[in-house]
Amino acid sequence: MRAGVAVLALATLAPLAAGCGQEGKGGPNAVPPAGGQQPFQSTSARALDSHTPELRAAHAARAAVAKRWGLKQVPLTAPPAPEKKPGITTRKGFEVDGHRRLGLPPVFTTVPTEEKVVFLTIDDGAEKDPAFLRMMDELKIPYTAFLSDYVIKDDYGYFGEMQDRGVGLNNHTLSHPYLPGLSYAGQKREICGMQDVIEERYGERPVLFRPPFGNYNKDTLRAAKACGIEYALLWNEEVFVDRWEYREWDRKLRPGDIVLSHFRGRGAWEGTMPDMIRRFLDKVTAEGYAVGRLEDYL
């Protein structure tokens, strides 16, 4: 495991250094067995014996929350936010003509970092599942939302609750169109219009933008810049309730990867948003990755 990623971290105590156990192996992050029949005998649990009662209690609380939400292991805690933010540039092959000369927002799929951390981003806002809010709050898993007005306007309050829990609310256009099919003026209406909605409803004007379907052209980025956007994010993996999809040929997670999902429920998936989060967390934790807060790196 790389420095800064630990099973548990408290503000006043150093993180524990431990590896990642596999399901059924009694590894450091394994969730205690159901029913309380046997003590939690992982390496990290034994190591806690030499630490303060507060540290042991905090670890037990995290394990209990992970078990309650059906996770195979306790999620890893992300390293502290970097003091020096990494330089974000457009991924090779994703440039538009005059990208750098015009100072257009960078288009990227991965944040430059050597830490074993990935970033969860969730798009549109169609599903408004209270259990998802509780799950993410109890597990303390950061994520970033990209919203479209046509699906959030029936319940702006749901996303207000999300913002109150520390989630960044960002721009995914008013109506989720195929942007390259619109004129510059049409694209600007979509992007600036969503900036106005988020500012009016939530008090902040976003600097992050994701083009619908991941499609954009030069006019998209020109319009985004004119509307106050500083970054145009795509993704390197997408997680669904039943599977993962990958941009890279080797189908592997990489440090700094941006992972996409959507606000969806049983009407669109064979499962719920908590089901999707379980699939997401079980994989990244098993592979030794923590989930970071994207905004801390930008």
- The residue ranking higher by pLDDT, 265 or 36, is 265
Strands (E), the chain: 107-108, 117-124, 144-147, 168-171, 208-209, 231-233, 237-239, 244-246, 258-262, 290-291
* Alpha-carbon span 290 to 80, nearest angstrom: 11
Domain ranges (residues) in the chain: 1-75, 107-297
pLDDT tens digits for range 125-147: 999 999 999 999 999 999 999 99
pTM here is 0.84
| Least reliable range by pLDDT among 52-66, 154-168, 258-272 | 52-66
CB distance 96 to 118 below 8 Å? no
pLDDT at 3 over 70: no
Banded model confidence at residue 33, pLDDT cuts 50, 70, 90: very low
- Which among 248, 251, 208, 249 has a CA at the least distance from the CA of 228? 208
pLDDT tens digits for range 39-74: 333 334 455 555 688 888 888 899 999 999 999 999
pLDDT at 2 over 50: no
- The residue ranking higher by pLDDT, 59 or 114, is 114
Q: Which of 3.20.20.370, 2.60.40.10, 3.30.420.40, 2.40.110.10 would CATH assign to domain 107-297?
A: 3.20.20.370
